[in-house]
Amino acid sequence: MIDFLPEQVRTLNELETATFNFILSNLSSIDKMSVRQLAQAVHVSTATVMRMTRKLGFEGWVELKYYLKNQNQLTEIPVNYYENLLQLDLFLRKITSKEAGRKLEEAVKLIREARYIIFIGVGSSGALAEYGARYFTNIGLESYAISDPYQAVKGKGAPDVLSIVLSASGETDKIIERVVKLREEAPAKIISITNHPETTLSKLSNINLTYGFQTEYSAYDPLENLTSQLPVIAFIEILAHQAMEKADKCN
């Protein structure tokens, strides 16, 4: 089964929708098509094809073809397991883009300038905050975690303290309250990691890193968010290693 988010499909204009419909009707043959061949088949420009792929959440036609090919070939793998792996693969491809690279460099700069780092999260994100603090400390970056939203923040408001805030939804009340208080203690520096960019938490952050996974909730408890946290771990480890690599080059 091939899934595209309805909100993404709704952004397509008439020509982009015609291209999208052609793809869905010719899944068995489009794998061999170049972007130019697809454009000629639908009687649109290559620019239209590229805009369509970006609106659907892909970097380009090659990435979209890769997604479609894997969706068709790996139907024997349990759906949730497979989708997590596919989404992770696409995420790892996206973070090599120039835009993602620029954001990562900005985040690494803040990490390098910090005297110590505070990881903040609640629930599952609280467990990841503990992991992040341990990972950063083990690699030589002084860090600690806050999983209790009412816990006091060491050195809050100090210009050399950095907060890395984890929240899949970016809308958790306790997290927003905590970040607002940090913001009151100017000049707070905040990196947030959320699933989507347009969240309250992202707007309160100096830098927001996102992964764009399909949101998943528990069948047992509909309030429990089961969206994969694999990219959060990837972000944590990438940031830590890049910060240490830059430190080594400077020494």
Q: What is the reported pLDDT for 75?
A: 45
Query: Is pLDDT of 232 > 70?
Result: yes
**Looking at residues 67-75, what average pLDDT do you find?**
64
Q: What is the reported pLDDT for 74?
A: 44
Q: What is the reported pLDDT for 186?
A: 61
What is the second-level CATH architecture of the domain 98-250?
3-Layer(aba) Sandwich (3.40)
Indicate the helix (H) or strand (E) that contains 120: strand 116-120
Q: How far apart are CA 105 and CA 121, in angstroms?
A: 23
> Is 158 or 43 the better-scoring residue by pLDDT?
43
Query: Is pLDDT of 225 > 50?
Result: yes
Average pLDDT of the chain, as a whole number: 83
Domains in the chain: boundaries: 6-73, 98-250
The pLDDT confidence band at residue 165, using thresholds 50, 70 and 90, is very high
CATH class of 6-73: mainly alpha
What digits encode the pLDDT tens for the residues 85-99?
677 777 877 787 777
Question: Which residue stretches of 26-165 are H helix?
Answer: 35-42, 46-55, 61-73, 79-94, 98-113, 124-138
What digits encode the pLDDT tens for the residues 112-148?
999 889 999 998 899 999 999 999 999 899 999 998 7
Q: How far apart are CA 9 and CA 20, in angstroms?
A: 9
Query: Is pLDDT of 1 > 50?
Result: no
DSSP, collapsed to helix, strand or coil, labels residue 57 as coil
Q: What is the reported pLDDT for 35?
A: 92
> Is 200 or 188 the better-scoring residue by pLDDT?
200
What digits encode the pLDDT tens for the residues 35-58?
999 999 999 999 999 999 999 888
Residues in the chain: 251
Name the residue with tokens 């089961």. Answer: 226
Query: Is pLDDT of 11 > 80?
Result: yes
CA-wise closest residue to 1 among 101, 89, 72: 72
DSSP string, 153-217: PTTTT-TTEEEEEE-SSS--HHHHHHHHHHHHSSS-EEEEEESSSSSHHHHTSSEEEE--PPP-B
pTM: 0.64
